[in-house]
Structure 1
Amino acid sequence: MGFHTFDAGRADALEDRSRFRYCSAEELLGAAALAGDDTVVDIGSGTGFYTDVLAGVASEVYAVDVQPAMAAYYREKGVPDPVSLLSADADRLPLAAGAADVAVSTMTYHELPDDALDELARVVRPGGRLVVVDWTAAGEGEDGPPLAERFDAWTTGAAVDAAGFSVRRAESRRETFLLTAVR
C-alpha cells in the first residue's frame, strides 16, 4: 500500500460520472448497508465524489483526505450538511476509538499507508463494517494506477482479516474488486 496519492491538480477528473461504471452509487450503498443513523468515515475522499453518495443516507460522514488541496476543492464544490472534512493520514485519524459504524475506501486502497487498516480497526466500532472498492491487480490496466501498484481482492482480504476484520464478501471484476468486512 501507499504507492502515491492522486494528483490534486487533476481533481476535476474525479468528478467524472463515468466513474460509476467501476462502482455505482447503488452498489456502494448496498455494500455499506447504511442506516440513517450511521457514522461513516470515507478514507481518501478526494473531491467528495463518492462521499456525496454516502452523505445522502448516513447521519454523519467524515471525509478524510491527506491532501488539503482535495478538501479545498470539495469545499469549493459544496459540502453537504452531514459531511465534516478532515485532513489526515489514514494511519493517524483524529477520531475516537469506535467512532464510526462504517469505513469506506473507494479507489484509494492502493494509496493508503501500511498501518491504515489497523487504524480503521481502531476507529470502526465492534460489529461495524468496512467497504473497499479498488483497482484490481488482476485487471488489464486500462484505467487507474499501473498494475504493479494494485492489489487483488484476496491479498486485500488477508490484510483486512489480519487487522481485525472478518471478510464477508470479496469479488474481482474486470478492473476493480469489491470487499466487505465486519469488525
Structure 2
Amino acid sequence: MGFHTFDADSASKLEDPSRYRSLSREELLSYIDPDPSATIADLGSGTGFYTDDIAPYVAHVYAVDVQEEMHERYREKGVPENAELVTADVADLPFSDDELDGAFSTMTFHEFATDESMAELARVVRPGGRVTVVDWTATGEGHTGPPTDERFALGDAVEMFEAVGFTVTHAVSRNETFVCIVRR
C-alpha cells in the first residue's frame, strides 16, 4: 500500500462539487447519523468540503489534517464557528481518551490507515462512538481516486478496525468505493 498525502497544490480539486458523485452530503449524514450534542472529527479534512456538510448537525467538529497548507485554504474559504482546525497525524491525535463521540473519513483512509492510527482511534473515540469510513477500494477500476495499489479493500478496513476492538455495523463494497461503519 502507498501512504501519501493529497498534493496541497491541487487543493482546489477538493472543492469540486462533482465529489458528491462518489459520496453525497445526504449519504454521509445518513452514515454518521449526527447527534446535535456530539463532538466528532473529520480525519483528513483537507479544505473542509465534507466538514462543512457535517458542522451544522453537531456541537463541535475537529477538522484534522496533517497538512497545515490545507487548513490555510480552509481558512481562506471560511471555517464554521463550531469547527476547530487540528494539524495532526491520525496516529498521534491531540485528544484525550474517549473525547470524541465519533469520527469520519471521506476518501482519506488510504492515506492514514496503519496499526498506530487504528489504535489511536480506539483511544480517542468513546465507548459506543461511531467511526464512518468511505474510501476508494482496492477492488475498483481506478478511473477516479488514487491508483488501486495505494488503496485498501473493504476486508482490510474491517480487519484493521476489529483488531483494535471496534465492531462493524455496516460494511459494503461499491464500484469504486467502500463504506465501513464501526462502533467502539
TM over 0.5, yes or no?
A: yes
- TM-score interval (norm. to shorter): over 0.9
Matched to 2:179, the amino acid is L
- Tell me which residue corresponds to 1:107: 107
- Aligned pairs, number: 183
Alpha-carbon separation, structure 2, partners of 1:159 and 1:2: 16
Higher helix share: 2
Relative to structure 1, the CA distance from residue 131 to residue 39 in structure 2 (aligned partners, 3 Å threshold; closer, same or farther) is: same
Which residues of 2 match residues 54-93 of structure 1 at below 5 A?
A: 54-93=54-93
Structure 2 portions without partners, runs of 5+: none
Which position in structure 2 is the counterpart of 1:160? 161
**Cα offset for 1:56?**
1.5
Q: Please give the residue correspondences for 1:170-181 in structure 2 after superposition, counting only pairs within 5 Å.
A: 170-181=171-182
CA distance in 2, matches of 1:145, 1:34: 29
TM-score normalised according to structure 2 size: 0.97
Q: Does 1:96 align with 2:74?
A: no
Deviation of residue 2 (structure 1)? 6.0
Q: Which runs of 4+ in 1 moved over 6 A?
A: none
- For 2:52 and 2:18, the matched residues in 1 are separated by 15
Residue-by-residue CA offset, 1:25-73 (whole Å, 9 max, x unaligned)? 1111111111100111111000000111110201100000000000000
Contact 1:103–1:130 (8 Å) recurs in 2: yes
Code of the aligned partner of 1:109: F
Equivalent in the alignment of 2:132 = 131
Displacement of 1:107 after TM fit? 0.4
| In 1, Cα distance between equivalents of 2:19 and 2:165 | 30
RMSD of Structure 2 on Structure 1 (CA): 1.0
2:6 is equivalent to residue 6 of structure 1:
yes
Over the matched positions of the two proteins, sequence identity in percent amounts to 53
Rounded to whole Å, the distance in 1 between the matches of 2:122 and 2:83 is 21
2:2–2:149 Cα contact (<8 Å) kept: no
Give the alignment's TM-score, normalised by structure 1.
Answer: 0.98
